[in-house]
């Protein structure tokens, strides 16, 4: 059979881009049904289980500690919608969604019941109809990025309609019988088409379809609850279409209006209140808040912060923004003309705060979630008229006293760049040989917040230092920090991580004059797996051990294959291997392509068989190559969850985390 010239060119290009390690290509099976592949994964699981079996008692000890430590949880604020208050009550493993008003309290969804017969379950989203009689839910029982959407009669529990196939978890009610959902592209999982569905008539119409492979479609309802925005965006550009609920019907999509034409590197996000438009946009360079009487005409800037807007909230009399300035998060309130009313600092030593669970624009107060590495989570209610705190209630943990711990934000200087580092340790447990648990991510502009977790406290109670490296490529210092570590700059994030590891190896408190040499135990998940694995390739003996969860380690191969989900949308983040200069950069750091004969540290690598973001075969190939190449006699364990995807069921995830920590602790002299 002769190939066309176009197809032949494509085949040759793919061959040229592929890694030389094609002896392991047989581990890729898109169907997830190959007998040989499944047998290999099960065998690796058995080998790993055999090694980890002696650590089960340590795993159980950690789980028991976390359960014992859990005490009083401050009551989570209710969500206000359509005249009701909503909240998920943790009555079982996952709980029930309830609602109440002045007259009644009802169960909307019994999540425990719906998850009962599934090894994996995720309630991706839920939304109640305007008349409060129906609830739409998006559920996933496999672990990929396709959801099943069901519309349920709340009173009877009967399913009115069920949409199976390729759907994102977007749910936007247009009316009591019409809902907007977003379909995923077959095989790629790309959300690409917004559809208006009539539940009673079982009919639908396409509102918008995006053909560009790097663009993603979403939808949301504005604060006035009368306007809906259909959005398409890539990594740095967005375009939106506005519609008014009363103008849209299942028979016509003429009401869909383009807000502003697409312009490269310009993003805008529209909200509506009291027939006035408010827009967050970077059309002037930096993100600012604009206002307009007609969204298709002139936008007037009213808030131009010195830092970057992380999120914003539109209320009846106020605009509240979270602003980030060089790693410091500020909560600032303005009137609708842009006059600043208050400013609060949400960042203290290794702590963080953000707006959460605010759904009522007419409320005079907003909810803020705060916590730190040694500061238990709290719900704080703030008066947005004055900026004053109305109330604050913190979680209480058993056998925990924040005074016993030190948490701080420090900097590690690397090539004239100050890399922020959050860390926590226990005062009376820190020794000269205390190990360092070093966590990193560094991609997509994501800021790894210094959350409070009993799991971390268990580590520092054993004498460990827990550290988060806020490397370039993440969002800790804003967009410039992100840009400095993405794409062709990816190596910067890796070098930052190595610099932090080297500094923490010598970390000591002021009272200690003795030179120290600490074990470094690295942790990375997904894109963080790229970071950690690439750093290990360069300095394997710097690390005592590592845990990689669903790691993106076969960068060059995956980014060269557009049949793999998400590849077409990720070129800006990781580089485009079809461009020679970018391919050279990717080849230089891609973890799988740079494995060589050297002393690799002990590793535990986890993956999910149905992962649609980072395919399971990346971890399988990676560990196989490490086993072939390493000159050290260390354990290299692969554990593939055959019943999940990129994310794991929350209860199972906790057990896995306990085993991950037991594995790493077992490599040290720490009291376990």
pLDDT at 170: 98
Residue at which a domain ends, from 344, 371, 398: 398
Total number of domains constituting the chain: 3
- Asked whether residue 663 is domain-assigned, the answer is no
What pLDDT score does 669 carry?
75
DSSP character at residue 507: -
Comparing 97-111, 248-262, 442-456, 576-590, which segment has the lowest mean pLDDT? 248-262
Q: Does the pLDDT value for residue 379 go beyond 70?
A: yes
Q: For 69-86, how does the pLDDT look when each residue is reduced to its tens digit (9 = 90+)? A: 988 999 999 999 989 999
Out of 365, 398, 431, pick the residue that ends a domain.
398
Q: Last residue of some domain: 375, 398, 421?
A: 398
Give the C-alpha separation, 671 to 61, whole Å: 13
Same domain, 227 and 268: yes
Instruction: Give the C-alpha separation, 652 to 119, whole Å.
Output: 9
Mean pLDDT value across residues 22-49: 95
Distance CA 352, CA 373 (A): 9
| Domain annotation covers residue 50 | no
Residues 500, 646 contacting (CB under 8 angstroms): no
User: Could you report the per-residue pLDDT of 598-628, keeping only the tens digit for each?
Assistant: 999 999 999 999 999 999 999 999 999 999 9
> Do 548 and 586 reside in the same domain of the chain?
yes
Q: What is the pLDDT of residue 249?
A: 67
**Domain shared by 322 and 299, yes or no:** no
- If you average pLDDT over each of 89-103, 285-299, 639-653, which comes out highest? 285-299
* Least trusted range by pLDDT, from 88-92, 338-342, 397-401: 88-92
Residues 538 and 644 in one domain: yes
* Domain range for 300: 118-304
For residue 23, is it within any domain?
no
Q: CATH code at 444?
A: 3.40.50.1820
Q: Which residue's structure tokens are 């998060």?
A: 329
If we measure between CA atoms, which residue out of 327, 328, 332 comes closest to residue 304?
A: 332
**pLDDT attached to residue 251:** 62
Q: What is the pLDDT of residue 514?
A: 75
pTM to 2 decimal places:
0.91
Looking at the domain assignment, is residue 331 inside a domain?
Answer: yes
Instruction: Indicate if the pLDDT at residue 11 is higher than 60.
Output: no
How high is the pLDDT of residue 254?
Answer: 61
Residue 12 has pLDDT above 50, yes or no: no
Q: Facing residues of 279 across strands?
A: 270, 290
Q: How confident is the model at residue 564 (pLDDT cuts 50, 70, 90)?
A: confident
pLDDT (0 to 100) of residue 3 = 34
Which pLDDT band, with edges at 50, 70 and 90, does 18 fall under?
very low
d(CA 457, CA 63): 12
Asked if 653 and 548 sit in the same domain, the reply is: yes
Same domain for 286 and 316, yes or no, is: no
| Contact residues for 78 (Cβ-Cβ < 8 A; gap 6+) | 85, 86, 87, 100, 357
Name the pairing type of β-strands 396-397 and 238-244: unpaired
Residue 206: pLDDT over 60 = yes
Angle, to 10 degrees, between the axis of helix 35-52 and the axis of helix 650-665? 60
277 and 384 part of one domain: no
Closest alpha carbon to 269 in 240, 227, 298: 240
What pLDDT, in 10s, does the model give residues 258-305? 999 999 999 999 999 999 999 999 999 999 999 999 999 999 999 999
556 within 8 A of 534, measured Cβ to Cβ: no
Indicate whether 313 and 426 sit together in one domain.
no
**290 and 329 assigned to the same domain:** no
CATH of residue 321's domain is 2.40.10.480
Residue 11 inside a domain? The answer is: no
End-to-end CA distance of the chain: 64
Residues 491 and 629 in one domain: yes
Residue 106 domain-assigned (yes or no): no
User: Which domain CATH number covers 280?
Assistant: 2.130.10.120
Q: What is the pLDDT of residues 381-431, one digit of tens each?
A: 999 999 999 999 999 999 999 999 999 999 999 889 999 999 999 999 999
**Residues 385 and 463 both lie in one domain:** no
- Stretch 241-263: mean pLDDT, rounded? 82
Residues across the chain: 672
Nearest alpha carbon to residue 62 among 665, 521, 667, 669:
665
Which distant-in-sequence residues (6+ apart) come within 8 Å of 643 by Cβ?
A: 119, 120, 143, 609, 610
pLDDT at position 593, please? 97
Is residue 363 in a domain? Answer: yes
How confident is the model over 170-176, as a mean pLDDT? 96
Is there a domain that residue 572 lies in?
Answer: yes
List, for residues 315-324, the tens digit of each pLDDT value: 999 999 999 9
Q: 314 or 563: which carries more pLDDT confidence?
A: 314
Q: pLDDT band for position 563 (50/70/90)? A: confident
Q: Could you give the C-alpha distances from 161 to 167, 189, 640, in angstroms and in order?
A: 14, 22, 35
Q: Are residues 456 and 492 in the same domain?
A: yes
Rounded to whole angstroms, the Cα distance separating 350 from 410 reads 9
Chain-wide mean pLDDT for the chain?
92
* pLDDT band, residue 247 (cuts 50/70/90): confident
């Amino acid at each position: 059979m002769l190939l066309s010239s176009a197809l032949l060119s494509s085949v040759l290009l793919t061959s040229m881009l592929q890694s030389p390690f094609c002896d392991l290509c047989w581990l890729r099976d898109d169907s997830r049904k190959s007998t040989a592949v499944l047998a290999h994964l099960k065998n690796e699981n058995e080998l790993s289980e055999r090694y980890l079996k002696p650590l089960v008692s340590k795993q159980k000890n950690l789980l028991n500690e976390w359960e014992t430590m859990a005490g009083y949880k401050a009551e989570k604020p209710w969500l206000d919608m359509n005249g009701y208050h909503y909240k998920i009550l943790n009555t079982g493993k996952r709980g029930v969604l309830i609602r109440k008003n002045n007259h009644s309290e009802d169960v909307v969804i019994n999540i425990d019941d719906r998850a009962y017969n599934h090894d994996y379950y995720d309630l991706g989203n839920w939304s109640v109809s305007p008349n409060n009689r129906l609830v739409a839910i998006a559920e996933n029982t496999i672990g990929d990025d396709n959801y099943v959407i069901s519309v349920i009669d709340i009173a009877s529990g009967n399913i009115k309609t069920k949409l199976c196939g390729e759907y994102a978890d977007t749910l936007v009610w247009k009316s009591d019988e019409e809902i907007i959902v977003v379909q995923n592209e077959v095989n790629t999982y790309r959300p690409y088409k917004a559809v208006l569905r009539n539940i009673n008539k079982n009919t639908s119409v396409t509102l918008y379809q995006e053909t560009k492979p790097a663009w993603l479609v979403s939808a949301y309802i504005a604060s006035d609850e009368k306007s809906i925005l259909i959005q398409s965006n890539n990594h740095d550009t967005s375009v939106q279409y506005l519609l008014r609920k009363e103008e849209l019907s299942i028979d016509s999509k003429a009401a869909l209006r383009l807000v502003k034409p697409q312009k490269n590197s310009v993003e805008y996000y529209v909200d509506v209140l009291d027939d006035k438009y408010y827009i967050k946009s970077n059309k002037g360079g930096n993100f600012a808040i604009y206002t307009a009487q007609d969204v298709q005409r002139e936008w007037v800037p009213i808030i131009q912060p010195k830092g970057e807007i992380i999120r914003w909230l539109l209320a009846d009399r106020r605009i509240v923004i979270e602003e980030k300035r060089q790693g410091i998060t500020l909560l600032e309130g303005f009137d609708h003309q842009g006059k600043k009313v208050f400013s609060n600092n949400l960042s203290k030593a290794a702590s963080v705060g953000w707006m959460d669970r605010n759904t009522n624009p007419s409320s005079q107060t907003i909810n803020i979630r705060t916590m730190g590495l040694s500061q238990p989570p709290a719900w704080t209610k703030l008066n947005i008229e004055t900026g004053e705190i109305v109330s604050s209630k913190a979680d209480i943990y058993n056998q925990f006293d924040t005074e016993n711990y030190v948490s701080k934000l420090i900097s590690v200087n690397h090539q004239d760049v100050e890399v922020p580092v959050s860390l926590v340790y226990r005062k009376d447990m820190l020794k000269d040989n205390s190990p360092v648990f070093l966590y990193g991510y560094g991609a997509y502009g994501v800021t790894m917040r210094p959350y409070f977790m009993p799991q971390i406290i268990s580590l520092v109670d054993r004498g460990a230092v827990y550290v988060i490296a806020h490397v370039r490529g993440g969002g800790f210092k804003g967009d410039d920090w992100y840009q400095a570590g993405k794409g062709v700059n990816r190596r910067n994030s890796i070098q930052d991580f190595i610099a932090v590891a080297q500094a923490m190896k010598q970390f000591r408190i002021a009272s200690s004059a003795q030179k120290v040499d600490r074990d470094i135990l690295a942790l990375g998940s997904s894109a963080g797996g790229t970071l950690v694995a690439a750093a290990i390739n360069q300095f394997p003996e710097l690390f005592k051990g590592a845990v990689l969860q669903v790691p993106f380690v076969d960068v060059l191969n995956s980014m060269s294959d557009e049949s793999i989900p998400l590849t077409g949308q990720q070129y800006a983040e990781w580089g485009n291997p079809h461009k020679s200069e970018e391919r050279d950069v990717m080849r230089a750091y891609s973890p799988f392509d740079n494995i060589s004969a050297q002393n690799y540290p002990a590793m535990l690598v986890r993956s999910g068989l149905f992962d649609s973001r980072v395919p399971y075969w990346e971890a399988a190939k990676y560990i196989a190559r490490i086993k072939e190449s390493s000159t050290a006699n260390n354990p290299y364990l692969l554990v593939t969850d055959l019943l999940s995807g990129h994310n794991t069921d929350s209860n199972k995830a906790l057990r896995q985390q306990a085993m991950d920590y037991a594995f790493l602790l077992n490599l040290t002299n720490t009291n376990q």
